[in-house]
A = this chain, B = another copy of it.
Amino acid sequence: MAKGTVNLRYFVLGLLAQQPMSGYDIKRFLKSLDWLIGSPSSGSLYPVLRALLQDGLVTVEVIPGIDRPPKKIYSLAGAGRQALDNWTDQPAVPGAPLKGFVMRLLLAGSLPHTRLVAHLEQRRVQVAAHQKALKQASAGPDGATGSDAAAGSGQHLAQDYGLTLATAELAWLNHTLERLSN
């Protein structure tokens, strides 16, 4: 598999699907949404681009910058489109970090709407399950056989926090899904 990352690999592929870009362009774009997903460092990004090139998933066009360092504009190749589709077809791994979901959201532009809806619905199921679990945990944790360890006040705080976020996310998912069926 020629060495290279896995997550970032497909995410970059997805970005290139929306528009051909250089490595530097990608970094600038991602820096603008730094808080959500964090932008990759050169140390991870450039190797990924080279790996994608070596695997024939993208093509380059070198634009010799007049007065500027030359730019390497990467574009999605046929095989890249294939690989990307394969990837977006499979559902997100259950315990995927938030980051993964936001990434998929960002790729929405290069996704058939049915697939986007499917992803959102999948997320809804997972968040709902999580919310339910947190509610149960908050409700009746006390008493039992010594139900558990380290039940500091922090645990309650964290559960409350998680519950709030999960509820907000669910509301957004419902609202967005409804909006998308128009």
Binding site for B on A (CB under 8 A): 15, 18-19, 21, 25-26, 28-29, 32-36, 38, 95, 97-98, 102, 105-111, 130, 133-134, 137, 148-150, 152-155, 157-162, 164-165, 167-169, 171-172, 176
Contact = CB atoms under 8 A, between A and B. Distances in A.
A161 B102 contact: yes
A21 B149 contact: yes
Contact of A162 (B35, B149, B165, B167): B35
Contact of A149 (B19, B95, B98, B157): B19
A32 B148 contact: yes
Given A108-B157, A165-B169, A167-B168, 13 more contacts: A15-B150, A18-B152, A19-B152, A21-B149, A33-B155, A102-B158, A106-B158, A108-B153, A109-B154, A160-B176, A164-B169, A164-B171, A165-B165
B168 A164 contact: yes
B38 A130 contact: no
